[in-house]
Amino acid sequence: MPKSQFYPHVKEMMGKDFAELLREIAPFVEPRADIIKTNRRLDITIDAAGASAEDMSINQKNRTLIIEGKIRPQPPEEEQELIASERFYGPFKREIFIPEEYDLHRIHAELKSGILTVTIPFRTYEKGEEQ
């Protein structure tokens, strides 16, 4: 069965219990990311739908970029009844090793439309500095 035909039938084939299990283990699953290298920088984009900038942090340790956040559920308005809840809520963490040629002191991050973009430029070396 081609991939495009398989996915719509997963819930039907695996059952409701499987979908519930996936929601339970979701906090242990890293958010999806794309890592793109250009001739000037490294661009990392991470799915962060529902997270606010205030609930996210970016740190680094031993050349590993550590991105953490929390997605909070929207409280239901009065007279609303939740019929189904399939989206992920809760804490998440993603760790990405950054090679030596990138300057971790000049990281730029932007959260826009549910996508976190982290840009890390190549290091620039001064005369006499070791490469």
pLDDT digits (tens, 9 = 90+) for 69-96: 998 888 778 888 878 877 778 889 999 9
Provide the 3-class DSSP secondary structure of residue 98.
Answer: coil
Segment 4-47, tens digit of pLDDT:
454 555 556 666 666 666 656 655 567 889 999 999 999 999 99
pTM of the entire predicted model:
0.71
Q: Output the CATH code of domain 31-121.
A: 2.60.40.790
Residue 65 burial (C-beta neighbours within 10 Å; 0-12, 13-18, 19+): buried
Which residues does residue 57 pair with via DSSP β-bridges, in sequence order?
68
- The tokens describing 57, both together, are 């942090």
Query: 10-16 contacts: CB < 8 A, separation 24 or more?
Result: none
Annotated domain spans of the chain: 1-30, 31-121
Distance CA 113, CA 131 (A): 38
Contact assessment for residue 69 and residue 55, using Cβ atoms and an 8 Å cutoff: yes
Q: By C-alpha distance, which of 50, 58, 61 is closest to 93?
A: 58
